Amino acid sequence: MPYFDPILTLQDRLPQGLKPLAPLSFNYWWTWSGQQLRLFNTIDHQLWEACHHNPVLFLQKVSRERLDAVATDPDYVQMVQTLMVRFRQYMQFQDCPLAPQISPERPVAYFCAEFGLHESLPIYSGGLGILAGDHLKSASDLALPLVGVGLLYRQGYFRQRLNRQGWQEDYYIDNQFSDLPLELMRSPTGEPLTLTVEIRGRQVVAQIWRVRVGRTDLYLMDSDVAENDPIDRWLTGHLYGGNQETRIAQEVLLGIGGVRLLQTLGLEPGVYHLNEGHAAFALLEVARGEMARTGQSFYGVEGQVRQKCVFTTHTPVPAGHDAFSPDLMDSFFASYWPQLHLSREQFLALGARRLGDPWEPFNMTVLALRLTRAANGVSQLHGEVSRQMWSILYPDQPVAQVPIGAITNGVHAQTWTAPLVSELFRTYVHPEWETHLPDPELWVRVSQIPDRELWQRHQTLKQRLISYTRSHLFTSREQRGETPEQLEAIARWLDPQVLTIGFARRFSPYKRGHLIIRDPERAKRLLTHSERPVQLIFAGKAHPADEEGKRIIQRLMEWCRDPDIQPRVAFIEDYDMHTARALVQGVDLWLNNPRRPLEASGTSGQKVCFNGGINFSVLDGWWCEGYQAGVNGWAIGEDLHTSNQELQDQLDSESLYRLLENEIIPMYYDRDGEGLPRQWLQRMKASIRTNIPRFNTARMVQDYINHIYAPSPELALSGKG
C-alpha cells in the first residue's frame, strides 16, 4: 500500500454515493466512457469550466453543499454506480487475444516526447502527442500490455493570445501536479521513486509519476526536485522550448532516463517502441544494459538491441529531424561512450548520415534506423517519402527496398465521436459499434440512418460549435479591451445555417493556413454571398520561434477586420483538445491544404469523418488513401511535382476556389421540399462509411501488433539485418 494515496484522500472528501468519482477521476477512461459530458459537468458547470475540465481539481474545489445536493439525486447516483460497474469490468485483467506473446511481464514500452490524453493534462503540442494519447487508449481497449514513457512538463507547451495587431503572444502557466490526475510513484516506505542520469557532467535526479489511461499506464519523469541544480530543475519545464542544448538534455532524460525508469519500476519490456526520434538515446542505454548482462562488446549486442527495438518516424523533411553538432555531443556524451567501449569516432558514426565527415551532425533518426529491427512511416505516401529520404543509409539497396514500411495513423473513436453521433451508430450500425470499428461490412449500415435525424444532430453540434466560438471570441476580445459595442456584436457572428469550414492545426508555413485568402477579393465574395455564404473558423498556434507562422496568423486577423467579413470569420485562440473536439464534431467541411508531400499523415480530418464531416484536402498524408473521387469528399489541386512553391500555391488556390464555387457550395445549399441537402447528406454518410473502418487506432494498433510488435515472418513490415 503506498504511503500516500491521492485517490483515497479525494474519496474521503466525497459523500457516500459519490465516492466512485475519486477512482474515476484518476483514470482517463472517463474521457471515453460515454458519460464524459455529464459526469462532472452536471455537478457545477461554471466550476467545471473554470477548472479546465480537470476532475481532480474540480472535486477538490466544489462546495460540500453542492456535493451533498447531487448525492441525493437518485438519477445521478445511479449513473455513477452504473459507470463504476462498467469501469470495474473494463479494468479486469485479460490476455490480449491479438498478441498472446506480449505479456504484462514483457510489455511494449512506448516512448514519446508528448502525450495528448485530454486538455486537463497539457503536456502535448499537437498531432504527435494526440496520436500518442490515442495509441495508449486503443492499447487499453485491446488489452495490449503497453506502458507509455514520457516527460512531465512543469509548464507544458506555450499558451497563446493575440494582441490588438493580431500578433501571437506566448506565455506559460505552471501545472500544479498535486491538482492533476497523477500519482507520484513511491517505495513501500513512502519515499518517491527516482532515477538518475548524468547530464552536462551533473547527476540529474528525476521522480516518476503515473497517469492511468484505462488499463494502460503512462509514466512521466519530472526533474523539478530539490536535489537538482536550478538549471536541471527546468529540464522538464517546457515542451519544445529552449535552445539546442535544452533539447538534447531533454532527449537524454527521455531516452536514457526512460530506460532507467522502467528498470526502477521492475519492468523489462519485450519491445521498445520509439515514437519519433526524440527518444532514440534509449537505444544506447538498452545496448549498455545488454553489454553488462552478456559481457559482450557494443557490436556484439547490436543484434539483441535491434531485436527489441522498433521506430516510427513522423517527419517527411530532413530539416525536421533532430540533429546535434559533434561539439554538443562531446559535452553531453564524453563520459558515456566509454561505458559502451566505443571511441568518439565510433560513437558519432552511429548518428551520421555520411560517414567520415568530422562536422556531420548526430542525427536522431539515423541512430534510430541503425539500431531498430523495424521502422515505419505514418501513411503509405510518407513511407515512400521516408524510403527516398533515408536511402543514403542503404547504398546497396534500391529505394523501393529501403527497410522503412508504413502504418497509416488513425484516431481513437470514442474520444473524438460526439455522443449525439455515437447514439446514431448504436441505433443503426451496431449496439457496440466501438468494438467493431475495422469491419467495413458493418459500416454499410450507415445508409440506414434517416437523413433528417443525421442532419438534425449535425446541426445541433454545429450550433454548439458556434456558441463555443462566440464565447471564446468574447473572452479574448474583452481581454484586448474592445468596446462594449464591439463585444455585443459577437452574439450575431456566425450562423448555423451557413456552410461552415474548419481549419485548425499548427500554423507552419508549409501548412498554408492563409491559402484560402490568397485572392482576398474572391474569398470575400464567397463569404459575403447574399444567398449562399460561407463562414470560416480557424484555430492553431505558430511555434514561438516561427516568425513566418506568426505572420500568417496576423495576416488572417488583418483580413478579418473588414466589417463585411468579420461576422463570417473566427479565430479561436489557444487551440487545445477541447477546441479540437468542438471543431471536428461541428464543422460541415474540414480544410487541409499543406504543400505536398510535407504532411506525413494528419489525423484531424479523420476525426471529422467520425462525426459526419466531409474532408476538403490536398492529396497528401492519409487523404491519399481515404479519398474516393465523387464519393466522400474533395481533393484540392493536382499531384504536381514542382519545386516552385509560388506556382503550386497559385494552382492549389485556384482549385480550392473553383471547387467551392462550382461543386461544394451548390451541393450544400441544394435543398429539397423538406429543407434537407440530400446530396450533401449522401456524402456525409459516405465519409463515415468509407473512412471509419480504416482510420481508427483500433486498426492501427492491430497493425502495429501484426507487423511491428510481434510479427509473423510473412507479416513483418520491414525486417532489418
| CATH code of residue 288 | 3.40.50.2000
Residues 617 and 528 in one domain: yes
Residues 6 or more apart whose CB falls under 8 angstroms from that of 266 comprise none
Asked if residue 467 has pLDDT above 80, the reply is yes
Residues 287 and 431 in one domain: no
Average pLDDT, the chain: 94
User: Residue type for 58, please?
Assistant: F
Calpha distance 507→623 (Å, rounded): 20
Q: Is residue 495 packed enough to be buried (19+ CB in 10 Å), middle (13-18) or exposed (0-12)?
A: middle
Q: Is residue 259 a contact partner of residue 286, using CB atoms and an 8 Å limit? A: yes
Asked whether the bond before 597 is cis by omega within 30 degrees of 0, the reply is: yes
For residue 209, the SS3 value is strand
Residues 74 and 140 in one domain: no
Single out the residue in 92, 120, 151 at which a domain terminates: 92
Residues 27 and 165 in one domain: no
For residue 719, the SS3 value is coil
Q: What average pLDDT does this structure show over 145-156?
A: 97
Q: Give the residues across from 570 on adjacent strands.
A: 537
Residue found under cell 492549389: 652
Residues 540 and 508 in one domain: yes
Query: Does 395 map to a domain?
Result: no
Residues 606 and 581 in one domain: yes
Calpha distance 688→710 (Å, rounded): 31
Q: Is residue 149 a contact partner of residue 258, using CB atoms and an 8 Å limit? A: yes
Query: Does 649 map to a domain?
Result: no
**pLDDT interval class at 671 (50, 70, 90):** very high
Q: What average pLDDT does this structure show over 97-115?
A: 92
How far the first Cα of the chain sits from its last, in Å, is: 46
Of the candidates 372, 373, 377, the one whose C-alpha atom is nearest the C-alpha of residue 389 is 377
Calpha distance 654→656 (Å, rounded): 5
Q: What average pLDDT does this structure show over 401-422?
A: 97
User: Residue type for 130, please?
Assistant: I
Calpha distance 334→337 (Å, rounded): 6
Pairing of strands 202-213, 194-199: antiparallel
Query: Does 406 map to a domain?
Result: no
Tally the residues of the chain.
721
Q: What is the pLDDT of residue 712?
A: 65
Single out the residue in 47, 63, 92 at which a domain terminates: 92
Q: What is the pLDDT of residue 266?
A: 96
Query: Does 420 map to a domain?
Result: yes
Of the candidates 102, 190, 227, the one whose C-alpha atom is nearest the C-alpha of residue 701 is 102
Which set of grid coordinates corresponds to residue 469?
Answer: 466560438
Q: Give the residues across from 184 on adjacent strands.
A: 209
Residues 79 and 113 in one domain: no
Q: What is the pLDDT of residue 639?
A: 67
Q: What is the pLDDT of residue 241?
A: 84
Residues 6 or more apart whose CB falls under 8 angstroms from that of 309 comprise 271, 272, 273, 274, 282, 283, 286, 371, 372, 373
Conformation bin of residue 276: beta by default, left when phi > 0, alpha when psi is -120 to 50: left
Calpha distance 577→590 (Å, rounded): 16
Residues 59 and 114 in one domain: no
Residue found under cell 491521492: 6
Q: What is the pLDDT of residue 38?
A: 92
Query: Does 623 map to a domain?
Result: yes
Q: What is the pLDDT of residues 204-254, one digit of tens each?
A: 999 999 999 999 999 999 999 999 999 999 999 999 988 999 999 999 999
Q: Is residue 281 a contact partner of residue 322, using CB atoms and an 8 Å limit? A: no
Query: Does 261 map to a domain?
Result: yes
Residues 6 or more apart whose CB falls under 8 angstroms from that of 388 comprise 399, 402
**Domain region containing 553:** 413-640+666-693
User: Residue type for 517, please?
Assistant: I
**pLDDT interval class at 351 (50, 70, 90):** very high
DSSP string, 648-690: HHHHHHHHHHHHIIIIIHHHHH---TTS--HHHHHHHHHHHHH
Query: Does 700 map to a domain?
Result: no
Residues 71 and 163 in one domain: no
Q: Where are the alpha helices (DSSP H) in 32-105?
A: 45-50, 55-61, 64-71, 74-91
Residues 6 or more apart whose CB falls under 8 angstroms from that of 692 comprise 413, 437, 443, 609, 610
Q: Is residue 304 a contact partner of residue 140, using CB atoms and an 8 Å limit? A: no
Residue found under cell 536550478: 230
Query: Does 381 map to a domain?
Result: no
Residues 53 and 115 in one domain: no
Calpha distance 99→132 (Å, rounded): 20
Q: What share of the chain is helix, strand, coil (3-state, %, to 5)?
A: 50, 15, 40
Calpha distance 157→571 (Å, rounded): 19
Single out the residue in 372, 399, 433 at which a domain terminates: 372
Q: What is the pLDDT of residues 580-614, one digit of tens each?
A: 999 999 999 999 999 988 899 999 999 999 999 99
Residue 22: CA count within 13 A, CB half-sphere: 17
Asked if residue 719 has pLDDT above 50, the reply is no
Residues 185 and 297 in one domain: yes
**Is the pLDDT higher at 269 or at 96?**
269
**pLDDT interval class at 716 (50, 70, 90):** low
**Is the pLDDT higher at 98 or at 244?**
244
Calpha distance 602→506 (Å, rounded): 11
Domain count along the chain:
3
Chain centroid offset of residue 221 CA: 19
Residues 6 or more apart whose CB falls under 8 angstroms from that of 700 comprise 135, 138, 407, 408, 409, 410
Q: What is the pLDDT of residue 714?
A: 54
Residues 112 and 73 in one domain: no
pTM: 0.96
Query: In 190-239, which ranges are E strands?
Result: 194-199, 202-213, 216-222
Residues 6 or more apart whose CB falls under 8 angstroms from that of 63 comprise 44
Calpha distance 494→509 (Å, rounded): 27
Q: Give the residues across from 378 on adjacent strands.
A: none
User: What angle, 0 to 180 degrees and rounded to 10, lies between the N-to-C axes of helices 451-479 and 419-428?
Assistant: 170
Q: Where are the alpha helices (DSSP H) in 242-360?
A: 244-252, 258-264, 282-294, 298-308, 326-333, 344-349
Instruction: Please state, for a pLDDT cut of 70, what percent of the chain lies above it.
Output: 98
Of the candidates 75, 459, 111, 439, the one whose C-alpha atom is nearest the C-alpha of residue 252 is 111
